[in-house]
Amino acid sequence: MCIAALALDAHRRFPLVVAANRDEFFHRPAAALDWWTPDGLRQPILAGRDLAAGGTWMGLSPQGRLALVTNVRRPGALAASEAPSRGLIVPAWLQGDETPDRFWARVALSGYAPFNLVAADFRQAECFWASNEQASARRLERGITVISNAADLDAPWPKVQRLKAGLRDTLRDTGEGEPADRLIQRLLALLLDDTPADDHLLPRTGLAPERERLLSSTFIRTPDGAYGTRCSTVVVTERVAGRQTTHVLERSFPRSAARPTVRRATLADWPPPPRGAPSGEVPRAWQAIDDDDPVGQSARTISTWAMPASSNTGPRC
């Protein structure tokens, strides 16, 4: 995962919106979005899967947790090959029950190469961002936030600012009566932006200018086709008649010129309300503000799921 935009309470009907791209070498094996159970854990999560190390870049749990991770580009930092996979952080949060401060204290000292983490526990009405390049975790409040490969929120990188502005404009222009699929289609279009940054605006992370330029767009594909955006993931929660339904869509891009494939899940009553809240009550931290074909014809839909039948907690099917 190399860029992710998160909107909390930025729209009356859509209180949670995530739009993210995962960039990776195409030779690294991965499985598409599905329900699967991480090694050593008991409950399934909904996520793509890194088949090289067993973790994931983004996922959610039936119990109401969500997480995503990005690498931080830092010359001279611990080599990824010498450290545990950062993708293991996501399932650890999804399947755990630690508070954010306890989880962060443990993860920050676990020897991972530099990373950003966004993690939410909707039952506790908690959402935070953390980087092991920073001293402490930070609670995320309502609004729009973007992370990429800088160890900071809303870094002054052109693609970060462009995606943030695009998401803000998209939500502003989305009417309360518009279907979720129309918003999903617009978000996927934002994630296809392959506009490189002007040379004088390129971040300086220690890479050669030519490499910085290749990595400066939201959607990436190197000339040799060896590295680029492997998938786009969109999460949209919509509120209808006092109930919440979450749509999760992953569009995967092959290395070849073949059409992308799409997997989609629709989860009823997810995210769940916080512990102790009356049934149907929307947690205060996630209430909406009081003011102001999703996959496209070029993609092929694989399947649609609800929550696993074995899950007896979290959203109902």
Q: What are the beta bridge partners of residue 231? A: 22, 252
Strand order in the sheet with 58-60: 30-36, 45-50, 58-60, 65-71, 115-121, 126-131, 138-139
- Between residues 24 and 290, the one the model is more confident about: 24
Residue 316, pLDDT > 50, answer: no
Question: Does any domain span residue 155?
Answer: yes
Examine the pLDDT at 290 and tell me if it is beyond 90. no
Residue 30 falls within a domain, yes or no?
yes
pLDDT of residue 277: 58
pLDDT at position 31: 96
Provide the β-strand partners of residue 118: 68, 129
Q: Identify the three-state secondary structure at position 279.
A: coil
312 vs 191 pLDDT, higher one? 191
Residue 315 is assigned to a structural domain of this protein = no
CB-based contact 88:80 (threshold 8 Å): no
Report how far Cα 141 is from the mean position of its chain's Cα atoms: 17
- Mean pLDDT of the 66-79 span: 81
How is residue 267 annotated by DSSP? E
The CATH number of the domain holding residue 23 is 3.60.60.10
Alpha helices in 151-299 (DSSP H): 158-172, 180-191, 209-214
Instruction: Determine, yes or no, domain membership for 201.
Output: yes
Q: What SS3 state is found at 60?
A: strand
CA 30 to chain centre: 16
Ranking 56-70, 128-142, 248-262, 279-293 by mean pLDDT, the lowest is 279-293
Residue-wise pLDDT for 121-178, tens only, equals 999 999 999 998 888 899 999 999 999 999 999 999 999 999 999 999 999 999 999 9
- pLDDT value for 256: 85
Token code pair at residue 276: 């102790």
* In the predicted structure, residue 254 carries a pLDDT above the cut 80: yes
| pLDDT number for residue 130 | 93
Report the pLDDT value the prediction gives residue 76, as an integer from 0 to 100.
62
**What is the rounded CA–CA span in Å between residue 99 and residue 105?**
10
pLDDT above 70 covers a percentage of the chain that reads 84
Residue 314 inside a domain? The answer is no
Cα separation, 8 vs 60, in Å, equals: 16
What is the pTM assigned to this prediction? 0.88
DSSP 170: H
pLDDT confidence band for 284 (50 / 70 / 90): very low
Q: Is residue 316 part of a domain?
A: no
31-62, pLDDT tens digit by residue? 999 999 998 777 899 999 999 999 999 999 99
What angle do helix axes 180-191 and 158-172 make, rounded to 10 degrees?
160
Cis link prior to 271 (omega < 30° from 0)? yes
With respect to residue 290, please indicate whether it lies within any of the assigned structural domains: yes
* Domain region containing 274: 3-305
Question: Quick one: pLDDT at residue 281?
Answer: 42
E strand spans, the chain: 3-8, 16-25, 30-36, 45-50, 58-60, 65-71, 115-121, 126-131, 138-139, 143-147, 227-240, 243-252, 261-268, 300-305
- What tokens were used for 7? 């909107």
- pLDDT band for position 108 (cuts 50, 70, 90): confident
Number of domains comprising the chain:
1
Please count the other Cβ atoms lying within 10 Å of the Cβ belonging to residue 155: 17
User: Residue 231 falls within a domain, yes or no?
Assistant: yes
